[in-house]
Structures are given as C-alpha cells and as structure tokens.
Amino acid sequence: ARGSDQGKERMSTTGDQSPGESKIKAADKKTPGGAAQKQGASYKESLHLIREGLTVEQIAHQRNLAISTIEGHLVRGIREGELEASYLVEQHKREKIIQVARQFGTNQLGPLKEELGEGFSYAEIRAAIAYQQYQEGLSSETGSIPVEKSRLAEE
C-alpha cells in the first residue's frame, strides 16, 4: 500500500498535465536508467557529506532520508572501495565481525548480531562484510564472505 501511495504522490505533483501524461512521467521515473542515475547521485551526495565530517544522523536529517538509507549508501561506498570502512566501523570491531562471520560461515545479519551481541550495530556488521567483500575482490552482487581461509592468511 505504501508504494502505491508514493505513486499517487508522484502523479499528483506533475501539475496541470492530463492523467495520461502523469502516468507516463511516473513510469519514466521507474525506468532502470533513471532510477540508477538518481540513486547514484544520492549515493555520491551521502559519500561527499560523510567526508565533509557530518555524522550519519546529520546527513539523514539534512537530506530528509532515513538513517538506514544513508548507512546503505556508505556500505555501498565501502564495498566499492570508494569509502574507508572506518566511517561506519572501528577496525577492532571490523576484525571481530569478519572473524565471527568466517567462524560461522555466514554473512547473515541476524545470526552475526546474535553472536556478536549488543556492542555491535547492524550497520557495523554490514560495513565489515562490505569491507571484506571489497578486500576479497568480490563483486557487490555476490554478497557472501568466503568460509575458507582468506588469501592473506595463506601468504
């Protein structure tokens, strides 16, 4: 229901156009190219603001976006090697998260959070996994941490 409300909102903001034109404009916004361009710009803006020294909460407030959306942008930046993991997770926590993920053979947030406890946030876990994916040379689409020894451990 929420998605349909957003669609109605988009169509109603198109002004004095006929309903047919509004639907076309709303449909255009959903095209993969258009969505990717907007998402890419939003993502880049979040990276820019975090580098400028704003906190995740400040960025979310300034951009009128959910904290989880900003965290998602930052995790993507970490996974793609465009942002240091330290913006979301301290090194000692990152190392512990990666250790537990390998030990349990999973990158599922729920089991990792349960094992790691209250001292670790979901954002920190996601950031650590993204960092490891980047370090392992995995694409952002695979979304998994190898259970086997890392290449670094073998050297």
Range 133-152 average pLDDT: 55
User: Which tops the pLDDT comparison, 133 or 33?
Assistant: 133
Judge whether residue 116 has pLDDT over 90: yes
> What per-residue confidence (pLDDT) applies to 28?
38
Judge whether residue 2 has pLDDT over 80: no
> What per-residue confidence (pLDDT) applies to 48?
96
DSSP characters for 94-113?
HHHHHHHHHHHT---HHHHH
What distance in Å separates the CA atoms of residue 58 and residue 22, rounded to the nearest whole number? Answer: 34
The pTM of this model reads 0.65
Judge whether residue 38 has pLDDT over 80: no
User: Which tops the pLDDT comparison, 130 or 17?
Assistant: 130
Q: Which residue has the tokens 């930046």?
A: 77
> What per-residue confidence (pLDDT) applies to 34?
53
Question: Which tens digit of pLDDT belongs to each residue from 56-112?
Answer: 999 999 999 999 999 999 999 999 999 999 999 999 999 999 999 999 999 999 999
Mean pLDDT of all residues in the chain? Answer: 76
> What per-residue confidence (pLDDT) applies to 74?
97
What distance in Å separates the CA atoms of residue 11 and residue 48, rounded to the nearest whole number? Answer: 31
CB 140 within 8 A of CB 80: yes
